[in-house]
Amino acid sequence: MLALFVKCLLGAFAVLLIALLSKSKSFFISGLVPLFPTFALIAHYIVGTERSMDDLRVTILFGLYSLIPYAAYLLSAYYFSYRYNLFWTLSLATFVWASFAAMLLFGWTRFQPGMA
């Protein structure tokens, strides 16, 4: 239970940091905070302690591929921000992320040896 509470505190701290940075002169740094590997560290620790090192390597490799949907989100959000208001920009960019994430999951489970 304590471990779950610590994970919640880490998430809350990240949100607080983003909110504070977004109000500063260096507001753009708030875009870097979500990329701190807080949740990746948690996931890698859990996989590393409950599964094999091979499974940890697969998890890490999948994490690298998961940067593709994130990059698609950022590129589409940047593009849409010139054409739409905030609601539509973020909604459409999220749809792009979900589409790329679905393609990644489909491709990973179909073509990765030993997966499915």
Tens digit of each residue's pLDDT (9 = 90 or more) over 17-69: 999 999 999 899 888 888 888 788 888 999 999 999 999 999 999 999 999 99
Backbone torsions φ then ψ of 112, nearest 5 degrees? -80, 120
Angle (nearest 5°) at CA 46 between 31 and 49? 140
**Confidence at residue 81, expressed as pLDDT on a 0 to 100 scale:** 98
Give the whole-angstrom CA distance, residue 34 versus residue 104: 21
Burial profile 23-36: b = 16 or more Cβ within 10 angstroms, e = fewer: eeeeeeebeebeee
Question: Which pLDDT belongs to residue 113?
Answer: 62
| pLDDT tens profile 64-113 | 999 999 999 999 999 999 999 999 999 999 999 999 999 999 999 988 76
Owner of token pair 């179909």 = 110
pLDDT at 7 over 80: no
